[in-house]
């Protein structure tokens, strides 16, 4: 039997600590080893209790959760799941937390009662179990520099990942040239975060980035981020393709679905498609990868041991892709 996931809960509210700890203790395979009221107590408890995962409140007096997360990721990186308010400021803080390397960011319940935690319990448990042992990249790395223009070969790029892929997306898109291949992204972000994500990226990267909309033409030099919640995003035709938003049921609990995007790209473009899976903690993405492989598309997925980077495959041929060569490899696949 696998050892339980040890969680340290950090929140300045006694009520929130008690409710969250009680909710987590109801998840099979999860044990709360302690609760802290702020950064100082969290530092001591981490050294004493050696948790696998930490939950951290964004809004705390004294050192904020964001400041403590930045310190943690610089000095002693570990899997962290954040909790933030459902406000514009909360969305800003949530995206910044994900950028720093947090695994996910959940909205705090509107009312501090156990029933509100029950609404997010299944997803929270899934994230916590996937977070145990996850490779966490420390913050403070050098900012990515945009590559020079590419001679685009007509290939389309699809990217899928969880909220935990935020840091990787900032690094990746920061290295893309202004005339990058047309790129469609499905990321499992919380409600209300996509717009903030786009705003933050737009201020830093060379390509154009927009929220995907039905009927939108797919153009070189543009990154399309799927809106979370109501629709799946698919590619209709290639070349000269358009985006379609489909109001279908969730797939593997997710909408938009990585697998549906990947399958549509494979169907539309075949060998002229490139798919990148940045990691997913559930079934969504697996079927899409199989569709890409069956369609003769190029496919890059995390190596079995994620510390080894990625693996590029097309039909039966495979080759390793070091994590620090990911952007270069994608741009090479999309260049003449």
The domain ranges of the chain are: 5-131, 156-333
| Topology of the domain comprising 5-131 | Rossmann fold (3.40.50)
Cβ neighbours of residue 192 closer than 8 Å, sequence gap 6 or more: 86, 91
Q: Look at residue 281 in the predicted model and tell me its pLDDT.
A: 63
Q: Look at residue 280 in the predicted model and tell me its pLDDT.
A: 63
pTM: 0.93
Question: 106 vs 91, 102, 127, 229, 312, CA distance in Å?
Answer: 10, 11, 10, 15, 32
The answer to whether 34 and 49 are in contact (CB under 8 A) is: yes
Domains 5-131 and 156-333 belong to one CATH topology: yes
DSSP characters for 121-139?
Answer: HHHHHHHHHHHTT---PPS
| Topology of the domain comprising 156-333 | Rossmann fold (3.40.50)
Dihedral of CA 332/222/100/226: which sign?
negative
Task: Extract the residue ranges of the chain whose pLDDT is less than 70.
Answer: 1, 86-88, 139-142, 280-282
């Amino acid at each position: 039997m696998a050892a339980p996931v040890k969680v340290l809960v950090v929140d300045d509210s006694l009520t929130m600590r008690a409710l969250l700890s009680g909710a987590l203790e109801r998840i099979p395979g999860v044990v709360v080893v302690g609760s802290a009221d702020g950064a100082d107590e969290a530092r001591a408890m981490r050294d004493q209790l050696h948790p696998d995962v930490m939950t951290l409140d964004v809004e705390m007096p004294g050192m904020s959760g964001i400041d403590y997360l930045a310190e943690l990721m610089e000095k002693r990186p570990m899997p962290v799941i954040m909790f933030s308010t459902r406000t514009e400021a909360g969305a800003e803080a949530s995206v910044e937390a994900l950028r720093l390397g947090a695994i996910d960011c959940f909205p705090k319940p509107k009312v501090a009662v156990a029933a509100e935690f029950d609404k997010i319990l299944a997803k929270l448990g899934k994230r916590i179990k996937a977070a145990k042992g996850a490779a966490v990249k420390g913050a403070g790395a050098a900012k990515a520099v945009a590559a020079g223009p590419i001679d685009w070969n007509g290939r389309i790029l699809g990217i899928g990942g969880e909220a935990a892929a935020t840091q990787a997306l900032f690094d990746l898109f920061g290295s893309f040239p202004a005339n990058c291949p047309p790129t469609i992204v499905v990321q499992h972000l919380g409600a209300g975060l996509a717009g903030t994500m786009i705003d933050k990226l737009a201020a830093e990267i060379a390509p154009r980035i927009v929220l995907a909309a039905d009927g939108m033409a797919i153009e070189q030099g543009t990154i399309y981020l799927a809106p979370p919640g109501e629709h799946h995003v698919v590619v209709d035709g290639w070349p000269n393709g358009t985006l379609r938003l489909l109001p279908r049921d969730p797939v593997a609990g997710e909408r938009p679905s990585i697998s549906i995007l990947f399958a549509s790209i494979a169907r539309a473009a075949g060998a002229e498609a490139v798919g990148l899976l940045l990691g997913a903690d559930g079934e969504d993405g697996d079927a899409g990868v199989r569709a890409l492989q069956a369609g003769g598309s190029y496919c890059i997925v995390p190596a079995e041991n994620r510390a080894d980077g990625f693996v590029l495959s097309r039909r039966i041929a495979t080759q390793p892709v070091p994590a620090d060569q990911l952007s270069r490899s994608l741009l090479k696949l999309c260049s003449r």
